[in-house]
Amino acid sequence: MTIKNDKVVSLVYELRLGSPEGEVIESLSNDNPLVFLYGVGNLLPKFEEYIQGLNVGDKFDFNLTSSDAYGEVNDSAIINIPISAFEVNGTVDDDVLKIGNIIPMRDNQGNRLDGMVKEVTTSDVKMDFNHPLAGSHLFFKGEVTDIRDATEEELTHGHIHSGCECGSNCDDMDQNQECGSGSGCSCCS
């Protein structure tokens, strides 16, 4: 079977920063492969382009430039937020506002954004809302471990299921949320 739209693909890979010799960012093994519905936009478009047409057992390695991955660093996504925005019952939790911490927040339209604490002063917190890998070139090396046809339910939902026998209603999930990622849909993987 070949990787193409509406197939469920399993693969393992090692992701390195910049080159085959770069720092290892992520490593997925046969015990914990990436399993996804191909062609519905859940992965980086160039990543999908590079693996299209591969078969089970095929190996791959390729570079993605920052513009093909998570984009360049956007200076306007680094902002100062008044420290008062982090107060709970009139107090700021210093453990939350540590440099490097990722804090989930919402914008004015209610969209969730993850921001990294870059700097804390007595009046402001500098937050970076760029993707952590923005500005980075990425190198992937891996292997396709399985390909199968997607079920009608998976095609309708736009993500994979491993069989929702538990009675949870996966239709209530956020459209951009994969099963198993804190969605509450424990029947899905």
Strands (E), 67-122: 78-82, 87-88, 91-92, 102-106, 112-120
pLDDT per residue as tens digits for the range 35-67: 999 999 989 999 999 999 999 999 999 999 999
Helix (H) or strand (E) holding 8: strand 7-17
Helix (H) or strand (E) holding 127: strand 124-128
pLDDT band at residue 94 using 50, 70 and 90 as cut-offs: confident
Q: CA 65, CA 18: separation in Å to the nearest integer? A: 8
**Whole-structure pTM value:** 0.75
pLDDT per residue as tens digits for the range 117-151: 999 999 999 999 999 999 999 999 999 999 999 99
What pLDDT is stored for residue 45 in this prediction? 96
Q: What percent of the chain clears pLDDT 90, i.e. is strictly above it?
A: 75
Q: Is 180's pLDDT higher than 50?
A: no
What pLDDT is stored for residue 90 in this prediction? 87
Q: CA 59, CA 65: separation in Å to the nearest integer? A: 20
Q: CA 162, CA 9: separation in Å to the nearest integer? A: 13
Residue pointed to by tokens 């998570």: 70
Q: Which two tokens stand for residue 21?
A: 């010799």
Give all domains of the chain, ordered by start, each with its CATH number. Answer: 7-70+134-150 (3.10.50.40), 75-128 (2.40.10.330), 151-189 (no CATH)
pLDDT per residue as tens digits for the range 113-123: 999 999 999 99
